Amino acid sequence: MRISKATAYGLHALMFMVRHITQLPVTTETMAKGEGIPPGYLAKIFQRLVGAGFVRAVRGSDRGYVFARRPEEISLLELFEAMEGGPLFSECFLKHCDCGGTTENCRIYAEWVRATDEVNRLLADTSVAAAAWNHPDHRFYGLSESLKSAKKKPKRGATRQSTTYQ
């Protein structure tokens, strides 16, 4: 399963809205700045989110976006399928073999169906609100920004801390 960057950005913008729900409506510019998403791209993503019925635009001096439905009622599966244009798993990943792709004659396909059903169930059971409160705040950085921050040397006299992972 591969989720597009637009879908990831859409999810993170909706999670931003959940975390700042008392400050809605919020503009795409504010969300883009807060999440490190290109603002023009996020504006196009929000056209799709409006079309899917997840958010609605508010006009006037307090312009921006608010949820059209409660974020607790929007599942990740529904969001991903709306953004990706259909089911995440619609066919066997071994599309070109001669087995015919049935669970009765192909053990690989049977396991594929079992695994994708489980992923779909987990995504269907997880709301945007739950995802927002169980995901660390962060920003999307471009590769050049990530490389710059990784190459920065510590200030003179500062000690570098090492982290041990178990």
Walk along the chain (166 residues) and give the pLDDT tens digit of each residue. Answer: 789 999 999 999 999 999 999 999 999 999 999 999 999 999 999 999 999 999 999 999 999 999 999 999 999 999 999 999 999 987 777 767 777 677 888 888 889 889 999 999 999 999 999 999 988 766 665 444 534 444 454 455 444 443 333 3
All structural domains of the chain, each given as residue ranges with its CATH number in brackets, are 5-142 (1.10.10.10)
What SS3 string covers the chain? CCCCHHHHHHHHHHHHHHHCHHHCCECHHHHHHHHCCCHHHHHHHHHHHHHCCCEEEECCCCCEEEECCCHHHCEHHHHHHHHHCCCCCCCCCCCCCCCCCCCCCCHHHHHHHHHHHHHHHHHHCCEHHHHHHCCCCCCCCCHHHHHHHHHCCCCCCCCCCCCCCC
**Global pTM value:** 0.78
